[in-house]
A = this chain, B = another copy of it.
Amino acid sequence: MSQLRPTPYSFNRAQRDQVFKVMTLQLDQASTTQLREWETTLAQEYQQFKASGLNLDLTRGKPSAEQLDLSDAMNLILGDDLSNESNTDLRNYGGLDGIPECKRLFAKVLGVANDEILIGGNSSLTLMYFAVLFAQNQGFGALGASWASEGKTTKFLAPVPGYDRHFSVCEHLGIELIPVALNDDGPDMDAVEQLVKADPSIKGIWCVPRFSNPTGTVYSDQVVDRLAQLGKLAGSNFRVFWDNAYAVHSLSDDAPELANIMDRCRAHGTEDSIYIFGSTSKITYAGAGVSFAGMSKGNLKAFSQHLGMSQIGPDKINQLRHVRFLKDSEGLAAHMRAHAAVLKPRFDIVLKHLREGLADTGMASWNEPQGGYFVSFDTLPGLAKEVVQLAADAGVKLTPAGATFPYGKDPDNKNIRIAPSVPSLEEIDRAMAVFVNCVKLASVRQRLS
């Protein structure tokens, strides 16, 4: 935290100490008089924040310029040498499944064999969109007919809170989302198993299994194994959509590992029940990376056949750029440590504010992620929208409350996603001071009302 310059708050330290001191008290043990006093002090502090004309943004789940700089060597790395393993002209059309050296590198990231992967363009979201689209409308080739052919509304399970773009893919394609709880070890598997057994029109489940967006959850080995068995419980053509977006995105070397789901599927004979996705969007350039999809050979055959109707091949030159730059698993690991060095201090400052300002107050809970891009924060039930609004009015932009739930509806109105990767340390420090104040103010007011 030594990089951090003192923050130029417009109120004095004595005022702050007073606020922090009183707030270590538990909300539910405070008398009405105490609550009124707190409200006055917090409202005063809030007005000072508001008057200071802040313009801060904690919404953006994307790499900072400092992180993107780490990959700038990519732009010059090819030189005149476009030689490659397949000894083909990468500049030309073709090669729908990507170049072999890229497959080998990212198959390890996804935990699949070198012939169980396809390397795409700059967006894994596009691969996921196509995967859902083809499954819904065209089917799985020799593996099975389309979901639509069953004549019922297709349904997906959505562990919540989750990633809004997964939800919007389903909404766009007319697929109904059924929320299930995301516990500390992954989706509530009792609920998941019960649901898929009861309703064969449930055809998929969205998973971000390591450093889940936004909760930072790493699925336990047991949960991974139970997910690998879903293909046996579920109706025909069920697929687990395994978006391993943060597969190598830990903040430290001792972050928990994720079990290899393809291995578990092989053990259970359910290899065809899983689609695995990933990309370098948060490894190299968010807008100019490469994406990949891992799946059984049967799935890959059907998926490629459909994908080939919409394109002749991906940008293989950019794939070569990536292999030259990242080299191998060791090169990738070293590169990700450089990312962690940029990201971790940002997470530390978010957590410092939450711990110092809100621990043991009974006002909030949050995760302390060991990787990924987010801190997931829960207010008391019913307060997320108010906190987001209070913060916005004081110049601190937060992801809209509800965004982490299907149809934007958080039934408890409590979850807020904090994204600290883009702002500077100082900006995060200022924004989090405001955020903590807003949470306290909203909580005290709710208690008083």
Q: Which residue of B lies closest to A309 (CB)?
A: B172
Chain B positions within 8 Å of A310 at CB level:
123, 125-126, 129-130, 169, 172
Q: Is the CB of A129 within 8 A of B309?
A: yes
- The 0/1 profile, CB within 8 Å of B marked 1, for residues 63-86 of chain A is 101001001100110111010000
- The 0/1 profile, CB within 8 Å of B marked 1, for residues 150-177 of chain A is 0000000000000001001100111000
How near does chain B come to A378, taking the closest CB pair, in angstroms?
27
Say if the beta carbon of A91 comes within 8 Å of chain B. Answer: yes
Question: How many interface residues does chain A have, given as a range?
Answer: 35 or more
Chain B positions within 8 Å of A90 at CB level:
287-288
Q: Is the CB of A287 within 8 A of B311?
A: no
Number of copies: 2
Say if the beta carbon of A92 comes within 8 Å of chain B. Answer: yes
Q: What is the CA–CA distance of A316 and B173 in the complex, to the nearest angstrom?
A: 27
Q: Is the CB of B317 within 8 A of A125?
A: no
Q: What is the CA–CA distance of A68 and B94 in the complex, to the nearest angstrom?
A: 14
A93, A130, A138, A286 — most chain B CB neighbours (10 Å): A93
Q: Is the CB of B80 within 8 A of A68?
A: no
Say if the beta carbon of A318 comes within 8 Å of chain B. Answer: yes
Q: Is the CB of A92 within 8 A of B169?
A: no
Partner of A92 from the list B63, B125, B168, B314 (CB cut-off 8 Å) is: B63
How near does chain B come to A162, taking the closest CB pair, in angstroms?
16
Q: Which residue of B lies closest to A129 (CB)?
A: B310
Q: Is the CB of B63 within 8 A of A172?
A: no
Chain B positions within 8 Å of A344 at CB level:
none
Chain B positions within 8 Å of A318 at CB level:
288, 315, 318
Say if the beta carbon of A400 comes within 8 Å of chain B. Answer: no
How near does chain B come to A77, taking the closest CB pair, in angstroms?
9
Give 22 CB contacts A-B under 8 Å. A62-B93, A63-B92, A65-B92, A68-B89, A71-B91, A76-B78, A76-B79, A91-B285, A93-B286, A121-B121, A122-B315, A123-B312, A123-B313, A126-B310, A129-B311, A172-B306, A172-B310, A285-B317, A286-B312, A287-B312, A287-B316, A287-B317
